[in-house]
Amino acid sequence: MIKSQVTSDYSVSADADSHLISFPSSILLAQAGLHVELLCALQKDASTSVADCSYGCHPFGRVTLLPTDHGFDYPSHKLQAALRPLLRKTHCSALTVDCSLWDTESQTDRAQLTSLLIFLLNLDYQLSDLGLKSTTIQNQRITQLTLWCQPHHQTSLEKLLREAKATSVGMMAARRIADLPSDRCTPEFIVTEIEKLIAPYRSLRCEILEENQIKLQGLGLLHAVGKGASNPPRLMILRYEGRDQGPFSAYVGKGITFDTGGLWLKGGDGMYTMKYDMCGAANVFGLLIAAAELKLPVRLIGVLALAENMIGPDAMRPGDVVTSYSGLNVEINNTDAEGRLVLADAIAYASKLTLDDQQPQYIIDMATLTGAVVKALGYDLTGLWSQNQELSHKLTQAGREVRDEVWSLPLDARFAPQVESAIADVCNTPTNNAAISTSAAYFLSRFCPDDIPWAHLDISGTALWREQGRSVASGRPIPLLMQHLLNDLEK
């Protein structure tokens, strides 16, 4: 992890290996010790564009001034967009960020700062870290992050940094697993890897259901999806015990480690990124890691539904009717709508879990579920469906506070006809091809008891970061869910 600190004394990190990021209007720049003529030239250039200099910048090795409006621009993320190419191949191992532009007493400014910190701390992970290239050029990496601020903001900024560090550790743990190729990242690999990764945390433990247990315990939908693959399915139950007593919350993640579409076969272009169809499960794992890092005084359970959706002699077929864990019989009329099948069983399973004879105070599921949500909301917003207005409102508010936003979409009985089946209790896809994302959410709602608040997050657009024609795991919506937990604790 990148070492980080908060200081009101710029000299702590001012050296030839340090890169200063600031703004022309900063009240701290006068203390930086830069040559007056250089500073004036940079301030002039930064009034309209990014001003960058790596020569004659004593006492720093490099200085970048960004237009002041970049620090407040949202939702277009000009700040991160400007920093990303600057920091992708840096020549300085230490980064000093002037934070005097933001008032830590302002919720809007805190949101901008938190988003920036999470972005910077996530620079510690790169695809090359997976070790899959036989030869790699070892670029300079940022190893030290210093936040430079005014003295009266230091305490509150340190709090934001602690929270951002824990969130980023969880995000990077999730991203590493999600980015692995699916020939390596099988259901069995995931449970084995997570067992190793949680070992250092005394507050985390897990249970695993193998294929025979899945079948015997009645998780018929998860079994149906996974039975066509040579790599059998798994159900993983992760537990975080941040305290001994009190309520607990449950999180459910779709973990399709590769999705061919089954007998409803996808086209080649649509299949290329399907190793990422397990980002929901990876992010549930990452969320519990983040909670353990920050030592949150809460109790959480994560349920990871892991399977490959493959073609084989035993693969499920369109028209099959399968009994779910909840007891509902499901007509599978589209084998490429497998995510909602494994989620349905996992949601029902989570709803039956108890601690101290208490059921979950809420269940939140997350999944790269439908391409339709991307058509509706694009790549920046996560789709949200819930039958509980309070939970929906809290998630929406938390998303705004960390710039990891959701957009609420309707969910009510008007969509019941979308999942009606002539032969079974429900079918897994609508026959009219309408309201695809909402139809999926309504299908899932049938598997959560009415007395447990439930929310569904479709992260098909936000689970990946897309740049220069490539996709990598983003770790979203872990920031949103961590902020939701923090907000509940404060209240």
Active-site residue list: 266, 340
Burial of 134 (0-12, 13-18, 19+ CB in 10 A): exposed
Contact, 409 vs 474, CB < 8 A? no
What span, in angstroms and rounded, lies between the C-alpha atoms of 402 and 390?
19
Question: Which residues partner with 303 through β-bridges?
Answer: 237, 252
- For the record, the structure tokens of 193 come out as 């890897």
- The strand pair at 144-148 and 3-7 is best described as parallel
- Apex 231 CA angle, 225 and 233, nearest 5: 45
What span, in angstroms and rounded, lies between the C-alpha atoms of 217 and 213?
6
- For the record, the structure tokens of 471 come out as 């996709």
Contact, 381 vs 461, CB < 8 A? yes
What span, in angstroms and rounded, lies between the C-alpha atoms of 172 and 126?
9
Contacts for 131 with CB less than 8 Å, ≥ 6 apart = none
Helix H or strand E segment including 366: strand 363-367
- Apex 222 CA angle, 407 and 376, nearest 5: 20
- For the record, the structure tokens of 341 come out as 């099948």
Q: What single-letter amino acid sits at 280?
A: G
The DSSP result for 197-241, as a single string, is HHTT-TTEEEEEE-HHHHHHTT-HHHHHHHTTSSS--EEEEEEEE
Question: For residue 319, is it left (φ>0), alpha (ψ between -120 and 50) or beta?
Answer: left
Contact, 87 vs 123, CB < 8 A? yes
Edge-first strand order for the sheet with 204-209 is 204-209, 234-241, 299-309, 248-259, 363-367, 454-458, 382-386, 406-408
Contacts for 414 with CB less than 8 Å, ≥ 6 apart = none
Contact, 465 vs 473, CB < 8 A? yes
What span, in angstroms and rounded, lies between the C-alpha atoms of 280 and 266?
20
Contact, 101 vs 23, CB < 8 A? yes
